[in-house]
């Protein structure tokens, strides 16, 4: 039996169609950045707890024209990029494909892990801005915890809020919501 790797030349960039060849239940996260395959382990329980608590905060404030999702949901702005934010908000009118979201997100949230810190703060930061994602939040559950929020202004992210511990962070985009970092870890 020929494997997918044997069918592809090593110099060929990966595409979103190639992602469909990977098993969905192996516990890994498969993402593409400019045709390069990125494989990450499944998040730890502490990561999932923070994600779940933030999901509840965002869900309670989410307006009817938007929808909140949690990983794994693929955002695929083109054939060579596919990212899975930990949490994301999208306009309901932009949900046209059951497999992935192709339009710019209203919000992408990444919860840092030791293995993802550099990737989330540099690579994904750049790809979300390039893809027109309106707001990007980076949540660091360690040493604080803390949140830094960015809004896209003229193609670049501008920090609009940050806080740690018991700070109340009031955000307007993608919709009004208040987040307290110390309430997130489980």
Domain harbouring 163, CATH code: 3.90.1570.10
Residue 10 lies in a domain: no
Examine residue 47 and state whether it is found in any structural domain, yes or no: yes
**Which domain range does residue 122 map to?**
43-183
| Residue 9 belongs to a domain | no
pLDDT at 129: 98
Q: Classify residue 13: in a domain, yes or no.
A: no
The predicted pLDDT at position 144 comes to 75
Determine the pLDDT at residue 1.
43
Q: Which residues of the chain have pLDDT under 70?
A: 1-11, 25, 143, 186
pLDDT in tens, 93-102: 998 888 899 9
**What residues have CB less than 8 Å from 82, skipping those under 6 apart?**
16, 19, 30, 31, 32, 74, 75, 76, 100
* The pairing of beta strand 107-111 with beta strand 135-140: parallel
The count of structural domains within the chain is 1
> Which pLDDT score is estimated for 76?
95
pLDDT of residue 5: 53
pLDDT value for 164: 94
Question: Please, what sign has the CA dihedral across residues 74, 112, 180, 53?
Answer: positive
In a domain, 2, yes or no: no
* Residue 73 belongs to some domain of the structure: yes
pLDDT score, position 58: 97
Evaluate whether residue 116 is within a structural domain. yes
Give the pLDDT score at 9: 60
pLDDT for 3: 55
* Each residue's pLDDT tens digit, 25-69: 677 888 889 999 888 887 788 888 999 999 999 999 999 999 999
Residue with the two structure tokens 């700070």: 167
């Amino acid at each position: 039996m020929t494997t997918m790797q044997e069918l592809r030349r090593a110099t060929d960039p990966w595409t979103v169609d190639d992602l469909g060849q990977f098993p969905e239940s192996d516990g890994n996260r498969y993402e593409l950045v400019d045709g390069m395959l990125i494989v990450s382990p499944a998040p730890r329980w502490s990561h999932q707890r923070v994600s779940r608590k933030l999901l509840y905060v965002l869900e309670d404030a989410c307006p009817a024209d938007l929808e909140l999702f949690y990983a794994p949901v693929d955002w695929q702005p083109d054939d060579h990029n596919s990212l899975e934010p930990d949490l994301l908000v999208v306009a309901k009118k932009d949900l046209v494909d059951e497999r992935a979201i192709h339009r710019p997100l209203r919000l992408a949230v990444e919860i840092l892990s030791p293995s993802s810190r550099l990737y989330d703060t540099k690579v994904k930061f750049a790809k979300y801005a390039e893809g027109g994602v309106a707001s990007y939040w980076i949540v660091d559950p360690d040493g604080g915890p803390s949140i830094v929020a960015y809004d896209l202004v003229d193609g670049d992210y501008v920090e609009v809020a940050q806080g740690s511990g018991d700070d109340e962070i009031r955000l307007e985009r993608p919709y009004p919501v208040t987040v307290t970092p110390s309430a997130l870890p489980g």
